[in-house]
Homo-oligomer: A and B are copies of this chain.
Amino acid sequence: MDATMDDVARAAGVSRSLVSLVFQDSPKVAPSSRAKVLAAAGALGYRPNALARSLASKQVRTVGVLLNDISNPFFAAVYDALAECAETRGYSILLGAGQRSSAREREIVAGFLSHRVGGLILVSPRMSVSSIEELTSGLPSVLVGRDVRLRDVDTITNDEMTGARAALGHLVSLGHRDIAHVSGGKGAGAAERRAAYTRGMTERGLAEYVRVVVGDFTEQSGETAARQLITSGALPTAVLAANDMIAVGMMGVFQDAGIDVPSDISIVGYDNLTLSSLSMISLTSVAQPLADFGRAAMELLLERVDGARTTRVRRQFEPALIVRGSTGAVGPRPSIPAR
């Protein structure tokens, strides 16, 4: 039903090979023939079959992108930059969203492999290192948000230590000492972030105040953590959340409980999502250059896909603290209002 190359060749009175060359932008086609072929193709509404092309040329202009959780705007921002980069280079993207399940992730990547994608970008995947190793073997791959020591895998990470130091420094300069951390649990980068918090606290002689509440990078887990802190009876004066979603969830619970942010408790998030800059939220946050993550990921990947590089690259970006309204000077220890 769709026109094929043979149809175009017949209509233009040339061979299929010539048509093929035209659609590959080969320089050895005479301008007159090129025009003839293009005219015939246009008249027939011909569109090259990417499947057949990939099969015959054994090189695929499609890359697979796996996002951990598409409903977190973090991933949307990374994806946006990444997609733009891919499109300008003429690559298509097969997308999968893992929904925070590692089994799901593996299925999705297996699907990518069936489609013989030319490369793989995994953004904060949940799956184990061995799964990553197995699935990416021999395929150009870039991992965003996690660090892994595999030959064929480039990584893009954030300098967690710098971020944690900046956030803690800010809080300490406001007089805070009792600073808790709500972690991302087993999520990508959570361990690093937690370690950076602990180390940062220790560096400042605040080791005795180290307190970690386990979360999972979702807003719900932030709510749970906030309730936990409230019922514990020992509210810290400040919280460093593992990401903005957690921070926002916590803010809501504190607000409902009559605990004022920032006069009763200061909160720092991580990711600097767009929503954090909203006036109603105004969350102090460690900004990660998400667009840079996405762009760098696709660039590194395509370098490998094009065969321009075979050595491993690890790129680390520097975060920046964005101070907003959710942090303030430490006040008198809040009395938890009666419900």
Interface residues of A (CB under 8 A from B): 1-2, 47-52, 54-55, 60, 62, 70-71, 73, 76-77, 79-80, 83-84, 87, 92-97, 99, 104, 107-108, 110-111, 113-116, 138, 219, 248-249, 251-253, 255-256, 274-275, 278-281
Contact = CB atoms under 8 A, between A and B. Distances in A.
Contacts of A77: 71
Nearest to A1: B138
Contacts of A1: 138
A97 B70 contact: no
A268 B273 CA distance: 23
Given A83-B97, A253-B279, A275-B275, A92 B111 contact: yes
Contacts of A2: 116
Nearest to A281: B280
A257 to B, nearest CB: 10
A33 to B, nearest CB: 23
B55 A80 contact: no
Contacts of A219: 274, 278
Contact of A95 (B51, B93, B138): B93
A248 B62 CA distance: 37
> Closest 8 interchain pairs by CB?
A252-B279, A95-B95, A50-B114, A50-B115, A71-B76, A70-B76, A255-B279, A51-B55
Chain A interface, DSSP helix/strand/loop, else mixed: helix
Contact of A49 (B79, B84, B114, B278): B114
A110 B2 CA distance: 14
A208 to B, nearest CB: 32
B274 A252 contact: no
A313 to B, nearest CB: 23
26 contacts: A2-B116, A47-B114, A48-B114, A49-B55, A50-B115, A50-B116, A51-B60, A52-B55, A55-B55, A62-B94, A62-B115, A71-B76, A71-B77, A76-B76, A80-B97, A83-B96, A84-B99, A87-B104, A94-B95, A248-B278, A251-B279, A252-B278, A252-B279, A253-B279, A275-B275, A278-B281
A96 to B, nearest CB: 7
Residue with the greatest number of chain B CB neighbours at <10 A, chosen from A70, A138, A253, A280: A280
Given A55-B51, A73-B73, A115-B50, A96 B97 contact: no
Contacts of A60: 51
Given A248-B278, A255-B280, A80 B73 contact: no
A80 B71 CA distance: 8
Nearest to A283: B280
Given A70-B76, A80-B99, A95-B93, A47 B110 contact: yes
A225 to B, nearest CB: 15
A249 B281 CA distance: 11
Contacts of A97: 79-80, 83
A96 B92 CA distance: 8
Nearest to A72: B76
Contacts of A99: 80, 84
